[in-house]
Amino acid sequence: MRVAIFSTKYYEREYLDRSNAEGRHQLSYFDRALTEESADLAIGADAVSVLLGDAVDAGVIGRLYGNRIRMISLRSAGYDNVDVEAAAKVSIKVFRVSAYSPRAIAEHAVALILALDRKTHKAYVRVRQNDFSLNGLMGFDLFGKTVGVVGTGKIGRAFCEIMLGFGCKVIAYDIRVSETMVAKGVQYVTFDRLLQLSDIISIHCPLTADTRHLFDASAFAKMKVGAMLINTGRGAVLDTAQAVASLKEERLGNLGIDVYEGEESLFFKDLSGSVVQDDMIERLMSFGNVLITPHQAFFTREAVEQIASMTIGNFTDFEDEKISENEVKGKEAMVSRSYVNEMSPDVIAEAIY
């Protein structure tokens, strides 16, 4: 199959070529993002492959359809940047990499927690300036703290296991309950209870209509004063302006983010020689208790290898017309957030999966 790979990153090509060593697919690499204009680069190809920064909206899909593209392959787990319904209307199939090293992301969330708690990001800079004082470096023990996990899918479950290992009390909110996690000691609660009880909250749900700005002004108001919030899910699950407001009021104690609402114009780019136009991220960076990483939670050797081999496998499965769990059939059917909030933890616990 001929595939036009858009937004190719420097580290990807080697792994994709290695996974395609038998040469079954003809891969053409483009640094450019997929847009209505660049879609013509895919003329002659059967499929396009994209990353999360590529906004594959109805306009782009119309252009791909005109260029006889039959498949869109995401080199990511999330697919909120692709208009799946628009693709289905013109019979373009959408594939993603449904699971790759969930531990890579879970471990990065823990890295953010430990750095913010023990202030290693500050100590690193200080010690290099020969300042060996302890002023302002006091942290807290994780043992015995309550950690709230929003979304206990593959990544959330890996994260729960690590935090249980630290001796934390782990509570969770999800529209489905994982029996495995309950057996390991995770207690499911409503979203509001999770906000009220948690010393640390970590976000591992996808971005959907129900989770967009799940952390809004009212959610921040319900959180414990001084709590830590970690987001390695998707930027827009947080209302960033409200996070800034809560930090300014000294209610939100620490914020660690690997994803950001406006990340498309910033992340994966070296902007060190330019003036950054995004005032919100500049404001966030001005807080000592905020740690930002540039969507690198997935970035381990193991994860990149798995993304590459699963992407090549998706091309093969599509060509061979095999049924694949990586095919995205439409937006996930969601129980509405207000409904879930009305449910008691016991009722939620009955919805075991």
Q: Which of 121, 126, 176, 283 binds ligand NAD (CB under 6 A)?
A: 176
Strand, helix or coil for residue 26: strand
**Active site annotation includes 121:** no
Helix (H) or strand (E) holding 302, with range, is: helix 301-319
Q: Which of 61, 204, 220, 314 binds ligand NAD (CB under 6 A)?
A: 204
**Active site annotation includes 108:** no
Q: Which is nearer to ligand NAD, 64 or 116 (CB)?
A: 116
Helix (H) or strand (E) holding 28, with range, is: strand 26-29
Q: Which is nearer to ligand NAD, 211 or 254 (CB)?
A: 211
Q: Which of 82, 83, 146, 151 binds ligand NAD (CB under 6 A)?
A: 151
Q: Which is nearer to ligand NAD, 275 or 333 (CB)?
A: 333
**Active site annotation includes 295:** yes
DSSP 177: B
Q: Which is nearer to ligand NAD, 215 or 298 (CB)?
A: 298
CB of 100 to ligand NAD, least distance (A): 8
Stretch that binds ligand NAD, among 17-25, 61-69, 129-137, 199-207 (CB under 6 A): 199-207
- In the set 103, 157, 234, 261, the catalytic residue is 234
In contact, 204 and 78? CB cutoff 8 Å:
no
Which residue, 33, 77, 297, is CA-closest to 207? 77
CB of 269 to ligand NAD, least distance (A): 16
Stretch that binds ligand NAD, among 38-46, 172-180, 218-226, 311-319 (CB under 6 A): 172-180
Sign of the dihedral defined by the CA atoms of residues 137, 143, 147, 151, in that order: positive
Strand ordering across the sheet containing 169-173: 187-188, 169-173, 146-150, 200-203, 228-231, 254-257, 290-292
Q: Which of 93, 154, 193, 224 binds ligand NAD (CB under 6 A)?
A: 154
In contact, 315 and 3? CB cutoff 8 Å:
yes
- What are the backbone angles phi and psi of residue 30, rounded to the nearest 5°? -130, 135
- Position of tokens 């979203």? 191
Which of the residues 88 through 147 are near ligand NAD (CB under 6 A)? 102, 105
Q: Is 81 in the site for ligand NAD (CB under 6 A)?
A: no
Strand ordering across the sheet containing 327-328: 26-29, 2-5, 47-50, 71-74, 93-95, 327-328
Q: Is 148 in the site for ligand NAD (CB under 6 A)?
A: no
Which residue, 121, 58, 54, 126, is CA-closest to 90? 58
Q: Which is nearer to ligand NAD, 120 or 190 (CB)?
A: 190
Residues touching ligand NAD, count (CB under 6 A): 32
Q: Is 39 exposed, middle or buried (0-12, 13-18, 19+ CB in 10 A)?
A: buried
Q: Is 334 in the site for ligand NAD (CB under 6 A)?
A: yes
Stretch that binds ligand NAD, among 2-10, 83-91, 232-240, 261-269 (CB under 6 A): 232-240
Q: Is 153 in the site for ligand NAD (CB under 6 A)?
A: yes
Each residue 266-305 as x (binds ligand NAD by CB under 6 A) or -, in order, gives -----------------------------x-xx-------
Interatomic CA distance for residues 196 and 283, integer angstroms: 26
Interatomic CA distance for residues 89 and 64, integer angstroms: 13
| Binding footprint of ligand NAD on the chain (CB under 6 A) | 77-78, 102, 105, 150-156, 173-176, 204-208, 210-211, 232-234, 258-259, 295, 297-298, 334, 337
Q: Report, as residue numbers or ranges, the catalytic residues.
A: 234, 263, 295
